Structure 1
């Protein structure tokens, strides 16, 4: 899932910092999620999707 989140973020031309700020989380959390070291909660997943401008379904 982390790779899909990273790919969507990169397609949207957004930095990890910008996504983290918009999603109400910190950059290290986004880094760990994208690297597959941390699983996002459902709430975080929805906030990341909203910050990137995609549907959460694209992450699955």
Structure 2
């Protein structure tokens, strides 16, 4: 499904998830680089997820949640 055909709430929710990941990361005093290293991802991937630029892979969200020490549900909960 092309991104431009998604309902408005989908990219808005994706940005909200990214904002929440950033808030938890900052609360843990981690840089994007630090989170990327802990999650086994690259900093650009973390940045794209935090910005809501594109849909993250579920695997990436699982790795991020583990690196932050929080359940995945906590990162995506409204």
Distance 2:70 2:35 in 1: 12
Unpaired segments ≥5 residues, structure 2: 1-16
Q: In the alignment, does 2:48 pair up with 1:36?
A: no
Distance 1:39 1:59 in 2: 14
1:26 alignment partner in structure 2:
42
Number of residue-to-residue matches in the alignment? 60
Tell me which of 17, 20, 24 is aligned to 1:4: 20
* Paired residue secondary structure (2:24): helix
Task: Name segments (4+ residues, structure 1) moved above 3 Å.
Answer: none
Unpaired segments ≥5 residues, structure 1: none
Distance 1:13 1:53 in 2: 13
The structure with the largest alpha-carbon Rg is: 2
TM-score, with length taken from structure 2: 0.72
Highest RCO, 1 vs 2 (Cα 8 Å, sep ≥ 6): 1
TM-score, with length taken from structure 1: 0.91
Tell me which of 49, 68, 78 is aligned to 1:52: 68
